[in-house]
């Protein structure tokens, strides 16, 4: 996983109890949780609990061989307001997310800014 800035990495996080950590590890045993790009502090709780996580790119989101509920039964968006509508082609990220959800994937949104998926980085516009 990519290094996070010292601002993010040094933010104190409440520790999970040993019992909750074991419960999460049991629930996600053999499963990997996907992290959408530019993840925020909430993603570190998953790491603190010792869960298997993989940071995804916007291009990954557009590839159903990679981005599917079998590979990632749970995906976390914990970043800010920006995303890119373009993964491998123009405007292919939103259909990739929709396909993932239609196939039974579970997207959890714990943003660190008020309006997740608001600004498209490829255009700079909402």
Range of lowest pLDDT (25-29, 90-94, 99-103, 110-114): 110-114
In terms of Cβ atoms closer than 10 Å to its own Cβ (0-12, 13-18, 19+), residue 15 is exposed
How confident is the model at residue 41, as a pLDDT? 85
The two structure tokens encoding residue 96: 């990739």
Q: What pLDDT sits at residue 60? A: 98
What is d(CA 30, CA 27) in angstroms, rounded to the nearest whole number?
Answer: 9
Q: Where are the alpha helices (DSSP H) in 1-126?
A: 6-9, 18-27, 42-48, 58-61, 93-102
What pLDDT does 31 receive? Answer: 97
Mean pLDDT over residues 107-121, rounded?
89
pTM, two decimal places: 0.82
What's phi and psi for 119, nearest 5 deg? -100, 125
pLDDT at 11: 58
């Amino acid at each position: 996983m990519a290094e996070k800035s010292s601002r993010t990495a040094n933010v104190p996080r409440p520790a999970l109890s040993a019992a909750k950590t074991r419960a999460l590890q049991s629930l996600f045993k053999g499963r990997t949780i996907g992290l959408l790009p530019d993840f925020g502090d909430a993603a570190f709780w998953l790491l603190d609990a010792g869960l298997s996580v993989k940071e995804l790119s916007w291009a990954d989101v557009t590839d159903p061989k990679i981005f599917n509920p079998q590979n990632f039964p749970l995906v976390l968006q914990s970043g800010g307001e920006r995303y890119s509508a373009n993964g491998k082609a123009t405007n292919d990220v939103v259909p990739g997310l929709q396909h993932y959800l239609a196939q039974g994937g579970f997207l959890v949104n714990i943003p660190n800014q008020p309006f997740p998926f608001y600004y498209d980085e490829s255009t700079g516009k909402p």
